[in-house]
């Protein structure tokens, strides 16, 4: 259940009710407003001051929502030039300090020198089926803070395999989407 291309709104924080322009691109699925509301209710006690990675950013709605609610910084990773331009334009128009956009595909980005993030949004295009691969790269590559939280969005009925040290904190369903929040509980066992 996704918002249609055009405009979506930020639902909380200092940017509440601000609109994001959304380009009409194949496969772009902005996370539905009610899903974002539920997710950020779950994150409310821990969002302030956290460093965020919006790994498959698309519209950047998740990362911008995090900035609006007090995240210290958000890095947005997006390979599509049109989506990236719209994201940069939205960040500039909203004066969303702390947002940095990187043009790269998620796998290529995770081959770079790692940085530590306390919250990661993992919502790749459903057709790519990259959840498990990206989750492993995040864990093994040193991208996650010791108690990091990772949000995973997938089609309803699909529960991606995640590292053994990611404990499911909460999950829900909306329309044809499953959304889940995991908490990292320590180092993954070496295989």
Report pLDDT digits (tens) over 163-179.
Answer: 999 999 999 999 889 99
Residue 123 domain-assigned (yes or no): yes
How far is 64 from 67, CA to CA, in rounded Å?
5
Residue 121 domain-assigned (yes or no): yes
The pLDDT, as a whole number, for residue 191 is 40
For the chain, give the percent of residues with pLDDT over 90. 69
Residues 6 or more apart in contact with residue 45 via CB below 8 angstroms: none
Q: Is-contact 174 34, C-beta < 8 A?
A: yes
Instruction: Name the pLDDT band for 22 (thresholds 50, 70, 90).
Output: confident
pLDDT in tens, 96-149: 889 999 999 999 999 999 999 999 999 887 667 788 999 999 999 999 999 999
- Rg of the chain over CA atoms, in angstroms? 15
Residue 1 domain-assigned (yes or no): no
The range of the structural domain enclosing residue 149 comes to 6-184
Q: Is-contact 129 153, C-beta < 8 A?
A: no
CATH number at residue 54: 3.40.50.150
The pLDDT, as a whole number, for residue 190 is 41
The mean pLDDT value of the chain amounts to 89
The pLDDT, as a whole number, for residue 188 is 53
Q: Please determine, for residue 189, whether its predicted confidence score (pLDDT) is greater than 70.
A: no
How far is 24 from 75, CA to CA, in rounded Å?
23
Dihedrals phi, psi of 81, to nearest 5 degrees:
-60, -40
For the chain, give the percent of residues with pLDDT over 70. 93
- Which of 17-21, 61-65, 77-81 comes out lowest in average pLDDT? 17-21
In the chain, the number of structural domains is: 1
Residue 114 domain-assigned (yes or no): yes
Q: Is-contact 40 69, C-beta < 8 A?
A: yes
């Amino acid at each position: 259940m996704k918002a249609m291309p055009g405009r979506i709104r930020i639902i909380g924080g200092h940017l509440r009710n601000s609109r994001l322009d959304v380009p009409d691109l194949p496969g772009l699925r902005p996370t539905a407003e009610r899903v974002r509301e539920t997710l950020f209710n779950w994150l409310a006690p821990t969002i302030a001051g956290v460093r965020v990675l919006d790994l498959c950013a698309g519209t950047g709605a998740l990362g911008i929502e995090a900035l609006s609610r007090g995240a210290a910084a958000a890095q947005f990773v997006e390979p599509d030039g049109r989506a990236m331009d719209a994201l940069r334009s939205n960040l500039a128009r909203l004066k969303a300090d702390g947002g940095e956009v990187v043009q790269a595909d998620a796998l290529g980005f995770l081959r770079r020198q790692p940085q530590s993030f306390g919250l990661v949004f993992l919502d790749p295009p459903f057709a790519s089926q990259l959840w498990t691969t990206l989750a492993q790269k995040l864990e093994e590559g040193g991208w996650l803070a010791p108690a990091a939280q990772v949000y995973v969005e997938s089609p309803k009925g699909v529960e991606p395999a995640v590292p053994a040290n990611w404990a499911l904190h909460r999950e829900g369903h909306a329309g044809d989407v499953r959304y889940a929040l995991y908490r990292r509980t320590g180092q993954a066992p070496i295989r």
